[in-house]
Amino acid sequence: MSLQSRKIALVGGGQIGIALALMITQKDHAEVVIVDLPGMVDQIKGKALDIMALRPHAGVDVEITATSDYTEIADAEVVIITAGVPRKAGMSRNDLLEINRGVIESVAKQVARHAPNAFVVLSTNPVDTMCQIFHKHSGFPKNRVIGLSGALDSGRFRLFIAMETRFSAKDVSCMVMGGHGPAMIPLTRTATVGGIPIQTLLSEEKIEEIVERTRHAGTEIVQLLGHGSAYISPASAIMEMVEAYLYDKKRLISSSVLCEGEYEINDCFIGVPCVIGVGGVERIVEMELTEGEQNQLNHNYQILQENLQKLDDL
């Protein structure tokens, strides 16, 4: 399929959706369709026109359509779901559980009807549980449903290591596993800068500060903004995942995917390292965890199971 005939659908025209539209346009990836509520369409059309006005300067020709009609997403190769209520100051991701469930259930049915062959990326919070809901209500195979989770968290972990060591973020390699929340697991023993373990470069006290800042990075941004939540870094992390799929890059990215026995986890979306290529989630990579890391992952699993039970009870 040529680039000109490619289509990426964005469900949700909020800050993450508009940031994604800009990034897709700048990189000349595909036609963009943004779907939102009828009352939001004119506003999104204005933002879309503003983005398209960069085309002469960027040397690209991406078309952006804003609509409330899901038939417009037909034949989309990728559907990115950012729809839902964002966090506000004082809210946890799990506070959005019941609010955003109905949104994702509705979106799942529309995407299944109009873009049944798409690769679907979700960022709606709490993202691991929203992936579970989308998977259940869409009937999509597990290899074509993925959540932002560790892709964003690992990026934040890399950033904070780079900031503390004063080395380039390009040379930092690390990974975060588990759910997208304060119980996430930054794997410090795997973190390196140019191949050098961070334990050689930073004190244990400083490393622990980085771990805690990574776990609460989203909350830090929410508190600083006062209204709304992060959008540029989530959009950037999503683009890494989407590009891995579109161009069959075989990227190894920690993401929220459905585990069925891997890491002792069954029937649950959770952040684990996986390979993303033209087949979607092509495989989960299992690495040997320490007893402490496995216990932390089991704790994350328990939290996510409790979320699902809450929804069942409601």
Residues annotated catalytic, as ranges: 180
CA-CA-CA-CA torsion sign (218, 221, 225, 229): negative
CA dihedral angle for residue 15, residue 47, residue 75, residue 86, rounded to 10 degrees = 20
User: CA neighbours within 13 Å on the CB side: how many for 50?
Assistant: 10
Q: Which of 138, 135, 81 is nearest to 113 (CA)?
A: 138
User: CA neighbours within 13 Å on the CB side: how many for 142?
Assistant: 16
Residue 221, burial from CB neighbour count under 10 angstroms (0-12, 13-18, 19+): middle
Q: Is 178 left (phi over 0), alpha (psi -120 to 50) or beta?
A: left
Q: Check residue 111 and report its DSSP letter.
A: H
Helix 204-215 to helix 150-165 angle, to the nearest 10 degrees? 140
